[in-house]
Amino acid sequence: MKEMNSITIELRIFANLRDILGFKITKLDITKGSTIRDLLFYIRDNFSAGADFIQNVLDSTGEKMLPYVKILINGRILMGSNLLKTEINEENSVIAIFPPVGGG
């Protein structure tokens, strides 16, 4: 049974980050109002390769996204210095995390 202040989100992971974590899509129950930073640290703490994942998305201080990593909520790209403070409040939100993409 889900807690009253809990919401279910769909987490989608792409490219090498998917290889690190071992999945493409999963559902998670998180506390309503959790921030993107909270979600990233939830991944770190609850998945066996979470520490490797964090090293590929956050700087060494854990306070800033690496500049080439993109996060979207329901198709809307998050930008700016406060993106880690963005709250997740909507049931069934889709959070997508994209690593750098090379071209050539």
Domains of the chain with CATH codes: 6-98 (3.10.20.30)
Which pTM was predicted?
0.91
pLDDT tens figures, 76-92: 999 888 899 999 999 99
**For position 2, what pLDDT does the model report?**
59
Residue 103 predicted with pLDDT over 70: no
Task: State the Cα–Cα distance between residues 93 and 58, nearest whole angstrom.
Answer: 22
pLDDT tens figures, 7-55: 999 999 999 999 999 999 999 999 999 999 999 999 999 999 999 999 9
Residue 104 predicted with pLDDT over 60: no
**For position 81, what pLDDT does the model report?**
83
What confidence category does residue 65 fall into, taking pLDDT thresholds of 50, 70 and 90? very high
Task: State the Cα–Cα distance between residues 89 and 67, nearest whole angstrom.
Answer: 25
